Amino acid sequence: MKNRQFFVQTLMALALCVSTTLSAQQMDPNMAGMHKATATEAHGTGVVKAIDTAKGTITLQHQAIPSIGWPAMTMAFKANPPGLLQKVKVGDTVRFTLHPAGMASTVTAISPLP
């Protein structure tokens, strides 16, 4: 009888420990396996290298964008709305806002820097 009582108490204690550990992992956003929230918008600066109004794209040589973990690079982006392409010209240094989605990222605002 004592062995069975000890066994039941041990199982209950173990269940409590597992439950507490799982609760702590669910509340700690830095735990392994947890994902950071993805930014819905990022800001950058760069130089306009090309504009293709027919395709609605702009190629930017941009500086690093730390908020989304991007290094400096040259990349073509879709402009949404396409009218943004009228605000700048090749060679302009610009500040821009984009919706990050890897290679399908979209520039949503852009303006030349003085």
Which pTM value belongs to this model? 0.67
Q: What is the pLDDT of residues 10-68, one digit of tens each?
A: 545 544 444 444 444 444 444 343 334 467 899 999 999 999 999 999 999 999 999 99
Domains of the chain, residue spans = 1-35, 42-112
pLDDT of residue 17: 45
Sign of CA dihedral 20, 24, 26, 27: positive
For domain 42-112, the question of CATH label 1.20.950.20 is answered with no
Triad 73, 48, 84: Cα angle to 5°: 115
Q: What is the pLDDT of residues 101-112, one digit of tens each?
A: 988 999 999 999
Q: How confident is the model at residue 9 (pLDDT cuts 50, 70, 90)?
A: low
Give the chain's largest Cα–Cα span.
86
